[in-house]
């Protein structure tokens, strides 16, 4: 029931528009990143004679529940607005007055079933729903071109068997890390080596973007996470990456005397707490807004990043997608750091992580923002289904490779 890969298939998402002149390109980006309405997700509970569903928590996404019979229910999942990327986030709670098995079908108004269900009974404890409790249609899955260059097979809907009782069971596309939980995790690290915190308001919302610092060096390592709400595995990798930078071994200690880290771990608070598939509260993919900055999140982030630039700088933006993959900058970016650390990363891992260059359309992503500031950069993508132990191990090795590259260490490179 997990996403299956077919043979690699190259998809040039923006290739056809690459020849557009600047004015047309600007006009097209202006339209793409202008605020647009977001459908309000009514926060409520659904009570069906002893079985109760709820979306009353930050990060929830559950648009409708229908009762088929006493033990069978259909949940409808819809995006915040359209058009939207195929990241069908869902998160809801369910409980029953009397213990029982129920079946819950997930139906999507858009796209297909992508994320294997995770379940949680206790705060912070998440498990994959066992495969034996997940069923799909008998029909063949749909072949979908993933952005990673692969074709992925996806079902239209799935049905889960769930054991429910009076304890509320949370079911979600990935573990739920809302804004408050994320901030608590990073604040706890203030006792573990972070050297400061700053914030910038996300205008028009109750939120601020929070940034933390580590190290005292003259150069700036800039780290971003969670531009896209469902991309939790990328956020988990960013945490491990940061923990490795904070260790007390020779490498990390030397690194922190030469480099100062600025991390904005959660770039899209309205989208994360709103349970969005992709967009911010303005209904826009903020990773298309780094050129014209029509959205408050990109403005807040660039304010923070610009006031923390060092003599030399490097940027890594953490995301999730169909599989582990790295997106280095366009070859015109004159980036001498990235190839070095990627080679070392491959050597440390023993198996190369796929790399793919982002086709240049317009300077709209964080990579392009970096390029416009003369900052080499990479997008670090973690697979939706990459197990936590593996993404932890990889993120730690990535941090070691990055530290060596930024310190100019040659030893250990083939």
Binding site for Zn ion (CB under 5 A): 228, 231, 319
How far apart are the C-alpha atoms of 349 and 224, rounded to whole Å?
23
**CA 291, 292, 296 angle in degrees (round to 5)?**
105
Residue least distant from Zn ion (Cβ): 319
Distances in Å between the alpha carbon of 234 and those of 40, 88, 153, 379?
27, 16, 22, 10
Cis peptide before 267 (omega within 30 of 0): no
How far apart are the C-alpha atoms of 314 and 259, rounded to whole Å?
10
Closest contact distance (angstroms) between CB of 226 and Zn ion is 9
Nearer to Zn ion by C-beta: 231 or 273?
A: 231
Contact 52, 254 (CB under 8 A): no
Residue with tokens 């904070």: 246
Closest contact distance (angstroms) between CB of 99 and Zn ion is 39
The string of DSSP codes covering 143-158 is EEE-TTS-EEEE-SEE
Closest contact distance (angstroms) between CB of 174 and Zn ion is 13
Nearer to Zn ion by C-beta: 231 or 392?
A: 231
Nearer to Zn ion by C-beta: 67 or 356?
A: 356
Q: Which SS3 state, helix, strand or coil, does residue 93 take?
A: strand
Nearer to Zn ion by C-beta: 158 or 267?
A: 267
Structure tokens at 414: 């083939």
Q: Where are the beta strands (DSSP E) in 57-123?
A: 64-69, 72-77, 91-96, 100-108, 118-122
Closest contact distance (angstroms) between CB of 227 and Zn ion is 6
Closest contact distance (angstroms) between CB of 384 and Zn ion is 11
How far apart are the C-alpha atoms of 244 and 395, rounded to whole Å?
8
Residue with tokens 């040039």: 12
Closest contact distance (angstroms) between CB of 317 and Zn ion is 8
Closest contact distance (angstroms) between CB of 231 and Zn ion is 5
Nearer to Zn ion by C-beta: 252 or 325?
A: 325
Nearer to Zn ion by C-beta: 86 or 220?
A: 86
Nearer to Zn ion by C-beta: 52 or 278?
A: 278
């Amino acid at each position: 029931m997990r996403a299956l890969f077919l043979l690699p298939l190259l998809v040039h998402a923006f290739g056809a528009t690459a020849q557009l002149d600047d004015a047309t390109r600007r006009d097209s980006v202006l339209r793409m990143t202008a605020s647009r309405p977001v459908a309000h997700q009514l926060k409520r509970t659904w009570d069906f004679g002893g079985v109760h569903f709820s979306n009353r928590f930050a990060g929830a996404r559950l648009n409708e529940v229908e009762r088929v019979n006493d033990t069978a229910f259909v949940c409808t999942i819809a995006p915040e607005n359209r058009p939207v990327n195929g990241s069908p986030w869902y998160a809801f709670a369910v409980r029953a007055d009397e213990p029982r098995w129920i079946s819950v079908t997930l139906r999507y108004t858009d796209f297909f079933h992508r994320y294997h269900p995770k379940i949680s009974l206790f705060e912070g404890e998440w498990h994959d729903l066992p495969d034996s409790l997940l069923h799909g249609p008998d029909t063949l899955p749909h072949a979908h071109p993933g952005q990673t260059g692969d074709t992925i097979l996806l079902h239209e809907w799935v049905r889960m068997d769930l054991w429910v009782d009076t304890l509320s069971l949370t079911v979600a596309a990935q573990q739920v890390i809302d804004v408050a939980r994320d901030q608590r995790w990073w604040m706890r690290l203030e006792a573990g080596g972070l050297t400061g915190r700053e914030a910038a308001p996300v205008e028009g919302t109750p939120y601020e973007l929070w940034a933390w610092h580590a190290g005292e060096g003259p150069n700036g390592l800039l780290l971003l996470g969670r531009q896209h709400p469902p991309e939790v595995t990328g956020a988990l990798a960013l945490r491990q990456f940061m923990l490795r930078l904070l260790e007390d071994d020779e490498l990390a200690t030397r690194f922190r005397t030469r480099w100062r880290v600025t991390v904005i771990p959660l770039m899209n608070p309205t989208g994360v707490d709103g349970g969005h598939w992709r967009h911010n509260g303005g209904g826009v993919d903020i990773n298309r807004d780094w050129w014209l900055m029509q959205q408050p999140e990109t403005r807040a982030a660039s304010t923070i990043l610009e006031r923390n630039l060092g003599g030399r700088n490097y940027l890594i933006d953490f995301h999730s997608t169909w599989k582990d993959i790295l997106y280095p900058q366009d070859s015109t970016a004159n980036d001498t750091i990235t190839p070095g650390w990627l080679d070392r990363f491959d050597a440390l891992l023993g198996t190369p992580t796929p790399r793919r260059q982002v086709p240049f359309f317009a300077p709209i992503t964080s990579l392009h923002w970096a390029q416009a500031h003369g900052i080499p950069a990479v997008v670090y993508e973690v697979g939706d289904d990459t197990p936590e132990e593996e993404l932890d191990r990889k993120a730690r090795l990535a941090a070691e490779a990055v530290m060596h590259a930024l310190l100019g260490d040659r030893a250990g490179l083939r």
